[in-house]
Structure 1
Amino acid sequence: LTNSFNYKQFDLRVFLRGKFDYQILNTTALSYGNKVSGTNLLSSAFDKYAQINDTYMYSDYYIEDGSFLKIDEVTFGYTFKLKSKNIRNLRAYITGQNLATFTKYTGNDPDFVKDTGLGQPANDGVLGVDGRGPYPSTSSFLLGVSFGF
């Protein structure tokens, strides 16, 4: 969903993206939220009762709602009107990417799961599995200037 707003010489563009009504197997919770591994545990390993007999076992206990809404990109700019023969206008802007994700999913990033899991290419077909290997998505910012001749 893209929204664009203009007021005088200011412009704002907001790109929202989401995915709804799907589930993810949270293998991070399975591995580190379970006392059986013994080291590098999540605090949730001690909050849960009985923890499925503290065994490392795939179960629907670790399946979570993967729905999310993400503020994917925001650009704010200002266009200077110049009275010059060579340059018609000058636009300065700032863009932020991957600014916020709204989700109830307890893993890193439900968007990173995409259509596969465990860092596998799409043709390997491991659907809805969030592997333990990927790092969280990063945010980035860009300052820019554009000229119109």
Structure 2
Amino acid sequence: MNRALNWTGQALLYGCFAVAIAVFTRWPVYHPLGPDMAQIKVSFIHHGQRLAECRPYTEEEKAKMAPNMRRAMKCERERSPVSIEVDLDGKTVLQRTAAPAGLSRDGSSTVYQRLDVPAGEHQITVRLNDSAQTGDFAYQREETIHLKPAQVLVVDFNLDKGGIVLQ
């Protein structure tokens, strides 16, 4: 008798657990975006320009180094932060400066930002600067885009593809 109650109780608990899982697979309904919304994702990893130009070692500096460590040029490791601006229909919606990663600040700068925007036609302008030595943006792309509801537009940076990429 006791064994039958254990089996019945265990079956009842497993059944309740299965019903709870079935309910939560359908309810509540999740909508990542509103019905007439689209999304722009700014996502890139990029190394900024070096902060200092490479220069030749002086003879005194070479003399202080071990023979196996002597190189012709000295290049500083630190890199410039990367700045990005995104304008949508003439209004700035993102303005971010990403510092280089690493203890020596010699790694890549990383930006990831999601922007929810109304679906439809928009004028987008993306500007990127990867050099602290110049105040101007080295890369710029301006384009008219048409976003459908629930569409995701990714803004990336790839030098092999000409710089700023919209996909």
TM over 0.5: no
Larger Rg: 2
Greater share of residues in helix:
2
TM-score by length of 1: 0.28
TM-score by length of 2: 0.26
